[in-house]
Amino acid sequence: MDAQTSFLDTLFDRGILHESGVDGLYARSALFEDVIRRFEDYVIGLGRDETDEAMVFPPGMTMADFETSGYMKNFPQLAGTVHAFCGDTHDHMALLECLATGKDWTDGQKRTGLALTPAACYPLYPIVARRGALPEGGLTVALQSYCFRHEPSKDPARMQMFRQREYVRVGSADEAIAFRETWKRRGSEIMTALELPHHVDVANDPFFGRAGKMMGASQREQELKFEMLVPITSSDKPTACMSFNYHQDNFGKAWNIRQRNGEPAHTACVGFGLERITLALLRHHGLEPAEWPDGVRKVLWG
């Protein structure tokens, strides 16, 4: 049995996660949620003074904004769209017949106006765009969302439904880049305070297909994405527990977010993978948070 399956089974056995029958979809225990909440409170505290506002998003976004994001073009294999029954009594009879005989009934499902949110910051951009030109000095927003990625896996750190907490900077190129550098530094300080082995490395998103390989290489070359890597089930392939992203003016252009000078806004974000960080803590400090090192407990329990 490999390290991923073994760690996952341990989490099931201890009732820290509960299996559902689908890889990457798990119920969380009170213990797991308590760690997530305490980590979130800690990170919210670190960024509070420089944050203009905070938002929490539902797990879905509008199909229109999902299309605008470009996610379906670049990562179709990971995206999820929401479909629903839109029929009448006659269609319902056919549906009941399918359900009763075990036939696939999902072909009749129609698209709705919603997609599952693939990255926590996407729903923010249209909200900011709707307000008109940015205020002087741009905007910094703290947010949280459930995200969906269609990649069933036995790796407990690769869930299909998971939460990201983010800070997003919207402003000039200089402001976005400075923000990202600040949080790269802070990310290392956080991991040091939590006594987790870690290092930051340049990274790329999992663009689809052959052409996608080139896009990933270009993203690395331009150093647009960095990840905070922590070994969870493997030292060779550590897990990205945070990411530090500079989007240039891609989202500013896509949603028409304007700086005060009329130029498209530049954006950057730092994302914290809440389940992954919790799993890293459980892996390195043990399955009983009451017995974690004093320094870690002081950070999270105060």
Task: Point out which span in 122-130, 251-259, 278-286, 291-299 binds a second copy (CB under 8 A).
Answer: 122-130
State which residue, 83 or 185, has the beta carbon closest to a second copy: 83
Contacts (CB under 8 A) with a second copy, residues 58-97: 58-62, 64-65, 67, 72-73, 76-87, 89, 92, 95-96
Q: Confirm or reject binding of residue 46 to a second copy (CB under 8 A).
A: no
What letter would DSSP give residue 119?
Answer: S
Task: Point out which span in 144-152, 164-172, 219-227, 293-301 binds a second copy (CB under 8 A).
Answer: 144-152
Q: Confirm or reject binding of residue 30 to a second copy (CB under 8 A).
A: yes
Contacts (CB under 8 A) with a second copy, residues 91-110: 92, 95-96, 99, 104-106, 109
Q: Quote the CA–CA distance of 53 and 22 in Å, as a whole number.
A: 36
Q: What are phi and psi of 220, to 5 degrees?
A: -65, -45
Q: Confirm or reject binding of residue 18 to a second copy (CB under 8 A).
A: yes
The number of angstroms, rounded, from the C-alpha of 172 to the middle of its chain's C-alpha atoms is 24
State which residue, 80 or 138, has the beta carbon closest to a second copy: 80
Hey, what amino acid is at 163?
R
Contacts (CB under 8 A) with a second copy, residues 226-285: none
Q: Quote the CA–CA distance of 169 and 175 in Å, as a whole number.
A: 8
Whether the Cβ atoms of residue 201 and residue 226 lie closer than 8 Å to each other:
yes
Q: Confirm or reject binding of residue 153 to a second copy (CB under 8 A).
A: no
Q: Confirm or reject binding of residue 135 to a second copy (CB under 8 A).
A: no
Q: Please select the residue that binds a second copy; options are 45, 135, 137, 152, rule is CB under 8 A.
A: 152
Residue in 187, 139, 178 with CA at minimum distance from that of residue 39: 187
Burial 31-46 (b: 16+ CB within 10 A, else e): bbeebbebbbebbeeb
